[in-house]
Amino acid sequence: MYNILKSAHSGWRYIVLILLVIAVINALSGWLGNKTYTESNRKLNVFTLISAHIQLLIGLVLYFLSPLTKLPMSDAIGRYFKAEHTSMMIIAIILITVGNAKSKKMTDAVAKHRTIAVFFGLALILIIAAILLMVKDVPGRSFFGVS
């Protein structure tokens, strides 16, 4: 079961990243182009939120099953998976959730786009940074490789 969840978590990251990139580009376009906030904008943001939460749930299960989280904090791999990866990803999910919630409360379309662009953009930067740290700290891992 661990290997299935690990593969699912590694593969699902592409869905999260693709949706997040599309949502950020879409929000920047709406913000800078003074466009209206449409139902398709809302759906894209909700799908991005849902995909990120699914990734979080798979990751939390893996956290308790993984032998990597049993390694000591003095080990770079153990520290990465116990603290760095986990905290960075949870913060990214919080940013996505807060950004989506804040945008729903706004009435101005440009403000909605700006809020999504800022919060989702910060989450995207954090997620990419966490993946790059993994590539640096964990031997045999690559940014694009499913592991």
Q: What is the pLDDT of residue 66?
A: 87
CA distance 126 to 85: 10
b/e for 112-126, b at 16 or more Cβ within 10 A? bbbbbbbbbbbbbeb
User: What's the confidence (pLDDT) of residue 55?
Assistant: 96
What pLDDT is recorded for position 147? 47
- Give pTM, 2 decimals: 0.89
Residue 87 burial (CB count, 10 A): 12
* Of 70, 109, 60, 134, residue with least CA distance to 146: 134
* CA distances (Å), origin 56, targets 9, 61, 85, 86: 9, 9, 11, 9
pLDDT for res 139: 67
pLDDT tens string, the chain, 147 residues long: the values are: 889 999 899 889 999 999 999 999 999 999 999 999 999 999 999 999 999 999 999 999 999 998 888 889 888 888 888 889 999 999 999 999 999 999 999 999 999 999 999 999 999 999 999 888 887 766 666 666 544
Amino acid, res. 65: L
pLDDT of residue 143: 61
How many degrees, rounded to 5, is the angle at CA 33 between CA 32 and CA 36? Answer: 115
